[in-house]
Amino acid sequence: MFIDFTQKDAWRALSPRTPFQQEVLSFLEEWYSGSRTVMVQTSGSTGVPKRFPVEKDKMRFSARQTCAFLGLGYGDLSVLCLPVAYISGKMMLVRAIESRMRLVVLEPSLSPLSEWDTEVDFCAMTPLQVEHSLSKIHHLKNLIIGGAAVSSILKLKLSTQKNKIYETYGMSETLSHIALKQIAPCAEEYFTVFGGVDIDTDARGCLSIFAPDLCDGRLQTNDLVELKNDKAFRFLGRVDNVINSGGAKIFPEVLEQKIKNVIPNEVIFLGLEDMVLGQRLVLVVEGESSQELISKLERITYEKSFHRPKDIIFVKEIPRTPNGKVSRPALKKLLDND
């Protein structure tokens, strides 16, 4: 499906051929209705999924921020390949509407660009989609990657790209991202927040966001960060994922990045209940066990002795939410039941 937002109401003449195309057109009906709000659904990766209303004006502001940062405008060609049930897909549509871009609608899949060979001005993808589209990434002038952390291995694969590629930071409540960190052609260490967004940390060291044009009041996250200044930060991990093993606090996301430098598999560190330690650190690896993998994992050196997992557990598939994010609660429940 192709939607030309340079032409007013051109989308109304389109007929959907797939359920996803129908979802896109249904959102456009909702967007152009008289309502001041649209309903947004969270992914459920850190808790129970929920739906809440969002003001369209706040979505417009978010869209303008991204388009201004990337230099996107009238007639530019963008690609939608994310589910519109979530904020990521909805905001791709709003950005196209606000900047009057031309939009190609592709079915969300692991490799949405498999048949694509045309230059595109803008696209947003998940890390997993990028991993399965590496041979096509050079067609995208501007690419933003969100929905999950971008692994060090994937960053290395993207480092030689000449086009602009960014990792995003945000959530449903901030209407997609409020900060970007460039991966290529220059690799940045810190996320830089957009104008109109103020950041700080609470007593726990978790990021606090004040962005009145995006969300009401101050938004307190459970994301542990290191502030460079009041406009830049480094993500360390979620406070609710922190593992307390024998009194030592362990940040699983930091260790996971270390492992992903060594093996390509999805990996998760968890703290399982332990009579002595309180929580026993284990490493869960997605895929078949092999001596080669085990040997690579056993050769890894850790900064602290308590960072080395007590057990390595292989699972066929790590549970994920409907939009592809790893679900730590579901994985922990799966292991507890074994």
Q: Does residue 33 register a pLDDT over 60?
A: yes
| Least confident piece of the model among 30-44, 169-183, 191-205 | 30-44
| CA 130/CA 153 separation, integer angstroms | 12
Note the pLDDT tens digit of each residue in 101-148: 999 999 999 899 998 999 999 999 998 899 999 999 999 999 999 988
| Least confident piece of the model among 149-153, 175-179, 311-315 | 149-153
Q: Does residue 66 register a pLDDT over 80?
A: yes
Give the model's pLDDT for residue 257: 85
Average pLDDT over residues 206-217: 91
Q: Does residue 65 register a pLDDT over 90?
A: yes
Give the model's pLDDT for residue 93: 97
Q: Does residue 43 register a pLDDT over 90?
A: no
Give the model's pLDDT for residue 186: 92
Domains of the chain, residue spans: 2-238, 242-337
Note the pLDDT tens digit of each residue in 226-282: 999 989 999 988 888 889 898 888 989 889 988 988 888 889 999 998 888 889 999
Q: Does residue 188 register a pLDDT over 90?
A: yes
Q: Which residues contact 26 (CB under 8 A, 6 or more apart)?
A: none
What is the CATH number assigned to the segment(s) 2-238?
A: 3.40.50.12780
Give the model's pLDDT for residue 149: 80
Give the model's pLDDT for residue 48: 58
| CA 210/CA 219 separation, integer angstroms | 6
Dmax of the chain from CA atoms?
A: 67
What percent of the chain lies above the pLDDT cut of 70?
Answer: 97
Q: Average pLDDT over the chain, rounded to whole? A: 91
| CA 207/CA 333 separation, integer angstroms | 28
Average pLDDT over residues 177-192: 94
Classify domain 242-337 at the CATH topology level: GMP Synthetase; Chain A, domain 3 (3.30.300)
Average pLDDT over residues 146-163: 87
Quick one: DSSP state of residue 274? E
Q: Does residue 46 register a pLDDT over 70?
A: no
Q: Does residue 152 register a pLDDT over 90?
A: no
Q: Does residue 283 register a pLDDT over 70?
A: yes
Q: Does residue 150 register a pLDDT over 90?
A: no
Give the model's pLDDT for residue 325: 75
Q: Does residue 337 register a pLDDT over 80?
A: no
Q: Does residue 327 register a pLDDT over 90?
A: no
| CA 222/CA 115 separation, integer angstroms | 40
Whether the upstream peptide bond of residue 108 has omega within 30° of 0, thus cis, is no
Buried b (16+ CB within 10 A) or exposed e, 124-161: bbbbbbbbbbeebbebbbbbbbbbbbbbebbbebbeeb
